[in-house]
Amino acid sequence: MRIEILVFDGVDEMDVMGPFEVWSHAARRPQFELALVGLDGPADVTGLHGLQFKAPEGLGQPDALFVPGGGWMNRAEKGAWAEARRGVMPERIAALAPSLQWIGSVCTGSMLLAEAGLVKGRPATTNRGAWAELEAFGADLKTNRVVDDGTLVTAGGITCGIDLALHVVERELGADVADGIAGAMEYARDRDVWISDTDQPV
DSSP string, 58-125: E----SEEEE---STTTT-SSSHHHHHHH-HHHHHHHHHGGG-SEEEEETTHHHHHHHTT--TTSEE-
6, 43, 67, 107: the catalytic one is 107
The CA–CA distances, whole Å, from 196 to 11, 169, 199 equal: 28, 17, 7
39 CB-side CA count, 13 A: 20
Amino acid at 155: A
Burial label, 199 (beta-carbon count in 10 A; 0-12, 13-18, 19+): exposed
Told to judge if 160 belongs to the known catalytic residues of this protein, a careful annotator would answer no
Active site residues: 107
